[in-house]
Structure 1
Amino acid sequence: MYRNLRFFVVLLSTTIVVLYGCTCNPEGRYVKDIHEFENGINIETNDANIHLTALSDHSIEVNYLPMGYEAAPSYALEKHLGKVETHLENKSDHILFSTNNLNVHIQKCPLAISYFYKDSLLFKEEQGLLFNDSIKGFRMQLDPDEKLMGGGERVLGMDRRGNRLRLYNRASYGYETHADLMYYSLPIVISSNKYMLLFDNVADGWMDLGKTEKDILQFETKGGRLSYVVVGGEDYPSLTENYTQVTGHQPMPPRWALGNISSRMGYKSQKEVEEVVSTYQKQQIPLDGIVLDLFWFGPDVKGYMGNLEWDKQAFPEPEKMMSGLKNKGVKTVLITEPFILKNTGKYDECIEQQLLGTDSLGQPFVYDFYFGTTTLLDIFKPETQEWFWDIYKKHTLSGVEGWWGDLGEPELHPSELHHVNGKADLVHNAYGHEWARTIFNGFTNDFPKKRPVILMRSGFAGSQRYGMIPWSGDVSRTWGGLKPQVEISLQMGLQGLAYMHSDLGGFAGDYKDAELYTRWLQYGVFQPVFRTHAQSDVPPEPIYWDKKTKSIAREFIKLRYRLTPYLYTMVYENATKGIPLMRPLFYASGDTSLISNKANYLWGDNFLVSPITEKGAQNWNVTLPEGSNWYHFFTEQKYSGGQVVEVSVTINEIPVFVKGGAFIPMVKAFSNMEAYYTKDLTLHYYYDADAEKSKGYMYDDDGKTNNSWINHLYEKLFFESENDDQKISIKVTRESNEYDGKPEDRNISFVIHNVVQKPKRVLVNDDSVRYIYNQKEHKLLVTGVMYGDKEINMTIRK
């Protein structure tokens, strides 16, 4: 009732203003004509054409074309989104344009546009388009109590209202607890009013979130596309889902990319690489990948960038090395950069083929930066993309399994440099995006069955659809560097980049602290990618730490592998719905008072994680969302939701909680993802009397075939529970398709947590079975339940 009344009042008040003598100001903007086209309308005003295009039932693109202004392409949006049902009403004083969920009210004179999700006002243009000699952009009205997230990768706190944010990807070496500008800026606003606003513009610019004027959101740009996209949703998960529907879903990475990846700056020889891998395996620490930094193509940090070929002095037999590592289950990842230094191996070739950014006269733009005198590949040029991909293709055919694109902001991008599609400042934020697209399209064309691994630290909105896996850059190796990592990953996940992760242990500096290292790796188990990386002053690999630190790291890395069924299911959900792996507490509950909480987060639907970020901590406060009971993953202690609890901590664990009623599928620890197999499965069920019914599922496929989830080369196991005073009922069913390595049947062990009394009887498909009951831990164990295509019905009589 209230929402309908609110919508009516807004329309009525607009109409009254028109009725009582509003006249068009010749200097103002007003509607002259309107034309309809598929999915949208074109509004002709006195100084611009405005295209409103429905991208989906939940999103609309608004593209302004001032008279004489050249249109610019969209980098953010998916192509070919399909037909959307729209509705148009052209009244004498206003226009109503809508999808089944989004409604746009357009006052004709003076022009004023308001957006509603169903009947709830999202926001309205304050002045709308800004277009003059001094400024180009947009002005929007903000509600007084509205909270704003977004802006990409920053360390500012979760609610970023009151900040003026530059939109320019730039390196932030050694950052800690505050960073205004970082590697991956995004012109995105996420509102507590359940809308997202994407300014689809890749140029250098600013986004003022109520800093200059308290209730005004102002976007400013040096040029380029004058467009924004409005996305609405019923709740926060659907908002993310609706946004990624139009900007693209992240393809599933190969399963090995979720395992332990070892990296440093950097391994200097073939012998060192082989020794590192051998040491991991001797010390029984699981390992799936190793990253080779700068030294694979040259003996020093400076002077060799752009060679892009193996340094045969240090790596005499690279193909043999990679083949040997692969036989051990370890994949090789190589670093590349877009800078071609003068007098390096590819320099003359790039000059001759005109593959480089140029000056105003069309000559190669040569300049100095940290690594030497350089040029920059014009990644926007089709010929450059083809040339660059040929290098990736050659090395991929020789055994490289993953690619790391570094310095892709680009790190130094002079304003005077010209690309084929414009000057540097006008296309700067699209550079990493196009680079990722180049590699992704190369894999699509030449290795269509292979899932690419593309690590990059800079991009644009929508880069996730090219398989980009971003990391948080050169973070300080300090407690201050660890503290903002949750905030960074949560913010980026809400903006479509669900695989944002950190260099585990910290990157920059020589601070050696076993406690810090341990805490960072413990957190890393519950971040999307587990990859250690650092400058070589302090070892990033656990194999080179003391016995105690190494032992704790080993057990947590093994836990990461044991949780692979749960993690891999989240990966599938992200690929199909865009839902992030790391989720803020408000995400599920809708409680906006939790927006500022950056100390705790949800890991999927069923885990809550609170990393330890203070040295010497013995007690830790954890916020538990209401609506569920929570069980300490390591101690089994039960806590009620809707409160802040203080828990004791030791160096051997961090606070991790499981939601009451949750199903957590796990496997035994294994050495690498090549050995992953779900024939022997342990299903943990966290019984909770307050959770009378609950559901869960597990996704499985071969872990490597591209688009397996699209081509039905997968299966799902579904779990259900129903409880009352007399019994606990659990059902397992299967949606089965064929795929390589599929278990024809499974040996499932059930672990039922929080069973406070020994049950009278346990039945599986109406037959009594043996069980083990642990009175001290309140656990019930049922082993050896064979499962093929028939469902399992387990009944536990109380």
Structure 2
Amino acid sequence: MKQYIVLTFLLSITLGYSQNPNRIFESITYKNNVLEIRVNDGIYKITPFSEHIIENTFIPAGEVYNPNSHAVVLEPKPIKAKFLNVGDAFQLQTEGITVNIQKQPFQISYSYKGKPVISEKKGYVKNDSLETIQFNLRKDEVLYGGGARALGMNRRGYRLELYNRAHYGYETHSELMNYTMPIVMSSNTYMVHFDNAPIGFLDLDSHKDNTLTYETISGRKTYQVIVGDSWTDLIDSYTDLTGKQPLLPRWALGNFSSRFGYHSQKEVEATVQKFRNEEIPLDAIIIDIFWFGKDIQGHMGNLEFLKDSFPNPTQMIKNLKSDHVNMVLVSEPFVLTTSKRWQEAVEKDILAKDSIGNPFTYDFYFGNTGLIDIYNPKGKTWFWDIYKGLADMGVTGIWGDLGEPEVHPSDLLHATGTADEIHNTYGHDWARLISEGYKADFPNQRPFILMRAGYSGSQRFGMIPWSGDVNRTWGGLQSQPEIALQMGMQGLGYMHSDLGGFAGNLQDPELYTRWLQYGVFQPIYRPHAQEDVPAEPVFWDEHTKVLAKKSIELRYQLLPYNYHLSFQNHKNGTPLMRPLFFEDTTEALKTDASTYFWGDDFLVSPIMNSKVISKDIYFPKNNTWFDFYTGNKFDGGQSATVNVVEDNIPTFVRAGAFIPMANPMQSTKDYDGNKFELHYYHDASVEESKGQLYNDDGVTANAYENGNYELLNFESETTRSKIEIEFEAEVGSAYTAQSKQIDLVVHQITAKPKWIKLNRKRIAFDYNEDNNTVTIPLEWNTAKDLKLNIKLK
């Protein structure tokens, strides 16, 4: 009787709607971890992957089950589950998520630890032109997802097209951009991922009748429901399902020189030298289309250095590498009929086809073109061979542009399907091609793969997406935190913008400065723009250059902290940028992107308008916060007005945080993980806190998995009269650890300590009463733990 009451309660609170009234239950079986439900018009296959993930596939009568997913890499394994049958209802009950099946009227719904999550409304329905799957929503849910859009954080009320398409010059509103995803996330901490590649729509209650609808032209009728106890747990489960992002090479967290574009070897070398002369740190330079053609149009597909502009590219790359500057080259998936390789592409049969088997050609901005068919093994091999040749020359990064593809006629045919069936996963599989090529031919190297388009799961190929051709205006800047935060929630933790803005010829020093200051706390630091206004700080006026240099130097100081964020993302899928609602459930924060977390311990509030002299900032509750620059203290759970200065954007550090910071450098090659500052932000309100710092060689693939790493752990305990800080190290089996030279800087110490002891012996320290800090030089042999005691007055 108890089971029946619980089951009835669960089914009654899942919104009380029946599914398609014409769908009639016939039978149900649970075998080998698969729940199979036969209805009059097809079969449901429901598979639990874990207590947080369950998959549902509907196979209409007359269709064959397609098990192939573009996104899912997790293998379902038998888990603890109970199959319950009570009267007219059934449950497949895991330790977390549960699927509920009501026979009459037929309905499928989901719950998590006894609480309803979501329920099918009409479920699967085939209409005249689209196949749909429909769900019930609760009226108070805020919805996120759909990929990269500029809509505001709450995307409920929109019918979002799932068709990757670039939006040149967008600002504060863009309903369709270059990176869409079939993902819906709810403020109730669950996600629905529609596991299907062909184009379609994601209707997030556009009719305001509390309905979520996935619409597609064809393909799999498969979705996964993912749940979590927290946002970080939810994203961890989703990236378990679709793959974790590999660790980037450490240099990718440095500063890039990039524009559209550098026309010659001489220009490239002169630009790099100007960075070095100005002592502005630099780690990479990106060369746009002029490396293979003198003009914008007519040359795409050449994919080889133009010798009269780049007379000795191998020596150029070698010289840059000796100066610790990595080379990244643009490439596109188009071979123009006017390019040097057109005849080769035709003869080698690497192009997508028309209906009678000829290369499909069409016109777009850059000329008359064919499209490389990466789904044809010949096309895949041909494309990779070009990349391999460039890597052999010393090129360390691939930029894949126009990969939506930018123009992709519906009647074009790929080896595995039509353009519309392949369109959204073209960029995804292009990144796969490069990733797999590196694993085969350069297995110890971490690739750098910059891509404008992809789909769900692309993070596992190491893809670094950017937000497209944003306008160089304040409106363009204003949309960037939202786009990056949303994409991080959907697994793409490295979404970033062209710093300074890309499109247009507005030359506004204040806008440029504020965008670069925001860039310190976004995943990739890459100014990029059309060349009528300089993207690089070295070509701006002296005052703007000084401010830009200050931002870039801070970016490099934060390298150890940021590299640890990369490790967190690799291990757990955790975004580098995180919305405030990850921690604070205040209702207004569910739709707020004006302030965000950078990793665990920074609170950042970018300046998005001109001539701002003060800003109201909300400080997340259950924490105390310190101004990163002034040390001013703010209590959590309330708003405060802060002064805004020219030199930086409002940035705050969580009380109790450990912030590792590097010594000055001109490139990440100069970084020494054995010498750093460790800043501890003391506050009496934080009795205990922990911090970590991940380190490896910064270049070797799978360093963590192969035991080639160290993980430094810091822990504090505070009372009214003392601070105790412990240092412990986890050293991988293949890593050779070295002693650490650490300057520990303890903040918010209002009087000189009576004494400081290291492993019970008194040691020297420096107290600065002007900024209330204690600096303690430490030498740490990580084979042994350290314990530091600070006796307060």
Q: TM-score range by the shorter chain?
A: over 0.9
1:358 paired to 2:345: no
- Name the CA shift for 1:42/1:544 in 2 (closer, same or farther; >3 Å): same
Q: Distance in 2 between matches of 1:46 and 1:184?
A: 38
SS at match of 1:452: coil
- Name the CA shift for 1:674/1:28 in 2 (closer, same or farther; >3 Å): same
**Deviation per residue, 1:142-200 (Å, 9 max, x gap):** 00111111111001000111111111100000000000100111111110111100111
Q: Distance in 2 between matches of 1:37 and 1:399?
A: 53
2:14–2:119 contact (8 Å) kept in structure 1: no
- For residues 286-685 of structure 1, the aligned pairs below 5 Å read 286-685=281-680
SS at match of 2:47: strand
Moved more, 133-142 or 166-175: 133-142
Give the equivalent residue in structure 1 for 2:56. Answer: 62
Give the equivalent residue in structure 2 for 1:48. Answer: 42
Query: Which residue, 766, 772, 779 being the options, matches 2:773?
Result: 779
**Deviation per residue, 1:87-130 (Å, 9 max, x gap):** 32344522211332110001123320010112110010111111
Give the equivalent residue in structure 1 for 2:749. Answer: 755
1:6–1:120 contact (8 Å) kept in structure 2: no
Deviation at 1:790, TM superposition (A): 1.7
Deviation at 1:261, TM superposition (A): 1.0
- Name the CA shift for 1:252/1:14 in 2 (closer, same or farther; >3 Å): closer
2:695–2:709 contact (8 Å) kept in structure 1: yes
Q: Distance in 2 between matches of 1:6 and 1:629?
A: 42
- Name the CA shift for 1:5/1:155 in 2 (closer, same or farther; >3 Å): farther
- Name the CA shift for 1:267/1:15 in 2 (closer, same or farther; >3 Å): closer
1:746 paired to 2:740: yes
Deviation at 1:501, TM superposition (A): 0.3
SS at match of 2:526: strand
Q: Distance in 1 between matches of 2:483 and 2:544?
A: 26
1:482–1:506 contact (8 Å) kept in structure 2: yes
Moved more, 339-348 or 463-472: 339-348
Deviation at 1:433, TM superposition (A): 0.6
- Name the CA shift for 1:443/1:4 in 2 (closer, same or farther; >3 Å): farther
- Name the CA shift for 1:739/1:614 in 2 (closer, same or farther; >3 Å): farther
**Deviation per residue, 1:485-532 (Å, 9 max, x gap):** 000000000000000000011100110011111111111011000011
Q: Distance in 1 between matches of 2:513 and 2:708?
A: 38
Q: Distance in 2 between matches of 1:725 and 1:15?
A: 52
2:710–2:737 contact (8 Å) kept in structure 1: no
Deviation at 1:654, TM superposition (A): 0.8
Q: Distance in 2 between matches of 1:603 and 1:318?
A: 38
Moved more, 90-99 or 579-588: 90-99
Give the equivalent residue in structure 2 for 1:31. Answer: 25
Deviation at 1:267, TM superposition (A): 0.6
- Name the CA shift for 1:364/1:90 in 2 (closer, same or farther; >3 Å): farther
Query: Which residue, 251, 264, 270 being the options, matches 1:269?
Result: 264
Q: Distance in 1 between matches of 2:475 and 2:387?
A: 37
Give the equivalent residue in structure 2 for 1:120. Answer: 115
SS at match of 1:245: helix
- Name the CA shift for 1:759/1:204 in 2 (closer, same or farther; >3 Å): same
- The amino acid across from 1:508 in the alignment is A
| Aligned CA-pair RMSD | 2.0
Deviation at 1:368, TM superposition (A): 0.3
Deviation at 1:210, TM superposition (A): 1.0
Identical-pair percentage: 47
1:489–1:500 contact (8 Å) kept in structure 2: yes
- The amino acid across from 1:500 in the alignment is M
Query: Which residue, 178, 185, 192 being the options, matches 2:187?
Result: 192
Deviation at 1:738, TM superposition (A): 5.9
- The amino acid across from 2:300 in the alignment is M
Moved more, 322-331 or 55-64: 55-64
- For residues 239-258 of structure 1, the aligned pairs below 5 Å read 239-258=234-253
1:28–1:110 contact (8 Å) kept in structure 2: no
- Name the CA shift for 1:87/1:6 in 2 (closer, same or farther; >3 Å): closer
**Deviation per residue, 1:584-614 (Å, 9 max, x gap):** 0011234443111111000011000011111
Give the equivalent residue in structure 2 for 1:237. Answer: 232
Q: TM-score, normalised by structure 2?
A: 0.97
- The amino acid across from 1:539 in the alignment is P
1:14–1:107 contact (8 Å) kept in structure 2: no
**Structure 1 runs (4+) greater than 4 angstroms displaced:** 3-8, 12-17
1:723 paired to 2:715: no
- Name the CA shift for 1:235/1:773 in 2 (closer, same or farther; >3 Å): same
- Name the CA shift for 1:560/1:616 in 2 (closer, same or farther; >3 Å): same
Q: Distance in 1 between matches of 2:621 and 2:15?
A: 43
2:11–2:109 contact (8 Å) kept in structure 1: no
Q: Distance in 2 between matches of 1:389 and 1:448?
A: 15
Deviation at 1:743, TM superposition (A): 5.1
**Deviation per residue, 1:460-499 (Å, 9 max, x gap):** 1000001100000000011111011000000000000000
Deviation at 1:35, TM superposition (A): 3.4
5+ residue gaps in structure 2? Answer: none
Q: Distance in 2 between matches of 1:84 and 1:398?
A: 49
Query: Which residue, 221, 224, 241 being the options, matches 2:219?
Result: 224
1:39–1:85 contact (8 Å) kept in structure 2: no
Q: Distance in 1 between matches of 2:737 and 2:99?
A: 52
- Name the CA shift for 1:52/1:767 in 2 (closer, same or farther; >3 Å): same
Q: Distance in 2 between matches of 1:132 and 1:643?
A: 50
Q: TM-score, normalised by structure 1?
A: 0.96
Deviation at 1:31, TM superposition (A): 2.4
Q: Distance in 2 between matches of 1:439 and 1:13?
A: 48
- Name the CA shift for 1:371/1:14 in 2 (closer, same or farther; >3 Å): closer
1:210–1:217 contact (8 Å) kept in structure 2: yes
1:770 paired to 2:770: no
SS at match of 1:530: coil
1:532–1:540 contact (8 Å) kept in structure 2: yes
- For residues 142-161 of structure 1, the aligned pairs below 5 Å read 142-161=137-156
Aligned length in residues: 789
SS at match of 2:471: coil
Deviation at 1:216, TM superposition (A): 0.7
1:56–1:246 contact (8 Å) kept in structure 2: no
5+ residue gaps in structure 1? Answer: none
- Name the CA shift for 1:786/1:201 in 2 (closer, same or farther; >3 Å): closer
Q: Distance in 2 between matches of 1:71 and 1:453?
A: 36
1:624–1:644 contact (8 Å) kept in structure 2: yes
